[in-house]
Structure 1
Amino acid sequence: MSLSTTASSADGATVNDTPEEWRAQLEALPSLEELGGSVPAVFLAHGQPMLIMSPQLAAQRGGQFGALATIQGPDGLLVQFLRDLGPHLLTKYRPKALVILSAHWETAGGGVTTDYGGENPLLYDYFGFDQALYEVEFKSRGDRQVAERVVELLQAAGIKSSRLTNKLEPRGEDGRGFQGPGLDHGVFVPLIHMFKGEAPIPVVQVSIPSDLRPETQHTLGASLAPLRSEGVLVVAGGLSIHTFRDFSAFSPDTAKPQYRAWEKSIVDAVAVAEPDARHRALFDLVQHPSFRAAHPREEHFVPLYVAQGAGSEGGEAKGARMVCGLWGAKTIVFGV
């Protein structure tokens, strides 16, 4: 489905980045009935731990975060968007469960699936923050039937590494050296704002393949596509800019021109009307000259390909829409 886009910067690097614009985009998304009963898939800007700081603490540490706070601070634009997005998805698509993948959980082959039972634990997989961020709560429950269905689909697609993990099993190194079980901060940080601290539907997390290749991510996502017609919302979380080498990149006011070119390339790729051409344009993004500047390691970008695959139908690309194009934190809906 083709919808209009509102460019919010003269060079097109950001789109739909004001509350009025992204709310209009959310309202314009097709209904569940118009989509034949299939819930869309989402590449979600999951933000970072500053989203769940108290405004007072963020103000005290403001010098450490600089312009990042305007977009990804506790009162920033991304928090405002997430608070709009969650209720909208629940109301418009009435999902029975959420299957979510995060840039912060990778395993060989991917497809390891949480089966935590009554309540999902949290994995505070960040360091150097104030104690309050290690006491944050987010209430959610798992769902054995949904988790088993995920593994069934992935195994059928040849992803033999897919299996269930329980509440007692540590998730492993997952690329960052954090042990223990639980939903990582790429899951609970955005969901705290989307669902006001408690998920009204079951949440199951699935690991992404650690090879971080777009093709592998897309294959895993496409394997999950049947869930959409079964009433399950598939979300893959990351960011469009994620680098610790150049903190100026996190604000359009301070970023070098290469980052503007990169952000615009994502907007342009999503805007390609013909589905197969859009598919190719999205895959070509990892060859962009500024990709490595924005993503020294690609784990925060490749979840886009999981969502793209999940939004396909029978392996064929469907519609896509950038509902919120915040700088460095773009959210794209696939399968519309």
Structure 2
Amino acid sequence: MLPVYFISHGGPTFAIRGHSGSEVGAWDTVRKLGPEILSLNPDYIICVSAHWRSSNKILVSSFDGENPLVYDFYNFPRELYETKFHTNGSKSIAANIVSLLQKHGIDAASESRGLDHGVWTPLRVAFGNPHVQDTGNLDLAVPLIQVSLPQSDKMVDSYKLGEALASLRSQNVAIICSGMSVHNLKELKQAMSQEIKVAPYVEPFNSWLTDSLTNHYGLEALQKAETDPELQKLYLKAHPTPEHFHPVVVAVGAAKDGKAEVLHTAGSITLGWNIYRFS
């Protein structure tokens, strides 16, 4: 059974090691994950990103041939808009994933949408050559399929998506969930102007998340952030909006009772960079 991964991907500048919008430890950890995952010889890779939330139904990227890239960011260095990450999709694999989700009672459909930066930015670090804008070659030999998050803000709905995908792990499929352990862009600019190195809520939330995952507390522990008044305050500071947290909930659902291991933890300004492997 293949592992599940949760990675904190930052923004598109994560691809540039040492950039102020990246984090060296997270970059180095993600760079090591590529060879690790490929050594398992997966038939294909699924990625769930914070940057694709779909209304009404779960959508699955469906292409035969190369996956297009979505440059879903603004006012970044020009080189990032010229960066490429060459991977292939598969309409037949996408159709199988849609069928699997439907069997689990999740309304799903195929969608001809490209890969957003929550997928291609970290995965080109993991699997491609991050020092070259465009290799001109296929950067990942196995198909890469993106699955959307549910529109719902309730953790249970993201967990159910992970549960539905879980059986694919025993069918030689790797699952990567891409978000942030802490993601507060609302306070980022002000924190930078005040030269705050790490906001006071980043480390406590990172620690709570690691404790919840590594001690196998599962969905019930995560949901306390929705119901416990004090924990909810911390959660809403760490995640004013939930889309960057819900990929870790998907990972917990896909891992079921699997062991969680923290591969990296760090905080910078109003961001958390934790990375986990679920076996």
Q: TM-score over 0.5 for the alignment? A: yes
Report what 2:99 is aligned to: 152
1:216 to 157, 171, 176: 157
Report what 2:29 is aligned to: 81
Separation (CA, whole Å) in 1 of partners of 2:200 and 2:57? 35
Structure 1 ranges of 4+ moved more than 3 A: none
Aligned residues: 258
1:133 CA drift (Å): 1.1
Report what 2:134 is aligned to: none
1:210 CA drift (Å): 0.8
TM-score when normalising by structure 1? 0.72
Tell me the alpha carbon deviations over residues 270-326 of structure 1, each in whole angstroms, 9 at most, x when there is no partner.
Answer: 231xx4x344223324452311111111100011111111112xxxx3322222223
Report what 1:280 is aligned to: 220
Q: What is the aligned-residue RMSD (CA, Å)?
A: 2.0
Tell me: CA distance 1:165–1:258, structure 2 relative to 1, closer, same or farther (3 Å). Answer: closer
1:145 CA drift (Å): 2.7
Tell me: CA distance 1:331–1:110, structure 2 relative to 1, closer, same or farther (3 Å). Answer: farther
Report what 1:193 is aligned to: 125
Tell me the alpha carbon deviations over residues 88-109 of structure 1, each in whole angstroms, 9 at most, x when there is no partner.
Answer: 1211x22110011100001014
Q: Tell me, what secondary structure is at the counterpart of 1:290?
A: helix
Contact 2:214 2:259 survives alignment (8 Å): no
Contact 2:156 2:219 survives alignment (8 Å): no
- Greater percentage in strand: 2
Contact 2:17 2:27 survives alignment (8 Å): no
1:310 to 244, 249, 254: 254
Q: Tell me, what secondary structure is at the counterpart of 1:236?
A: strand
Tell me: CA distance 1:230–1:301, structure 2 relative to 1, closer, same or farther (3 Å). Answer: same
Tell me: CA distance 1:256–1:47, structure 2 relative to 1, closer, same or farther (3 Å). Answer: closer
Q: Tell me, what secondary structure is at the counterpart of 1:188?
A: helix
1:258 CA drift (Å): 2.7
Which segments of 5 or more consecutive residues in structure 2 lack a partner in the other structure? 130-138
Contact 2:159 2:219 survives alignment (8 Å): no
Which segments of 5 or more consecutive residues in structure 1 lack a partner in the other structure? 1-37, 59-64, 167-180
Instruction: Look up the equivalent residue of 1:254 and give its one-letter code.
Output: K
TM-score when normalising by structure 2? 0.86
Tell me: CA distance 1:293–1:54, structure 2 relative to 1, closer, same or farther (3 Å). Answer: closer
Contact 2:150 2:158 survives alignment (8 Å): yes
Contact 1:123 1:182 survives alignment (8 Å): yes
2:5 to 33, 42, 50: 42
Contact 1:109 1:159 survives alignment (8 Å): no
Report what 1:169 is aligned to: none
Separation (CA, whole Å) in 2 of partners of 1:107 and 1:268? 30
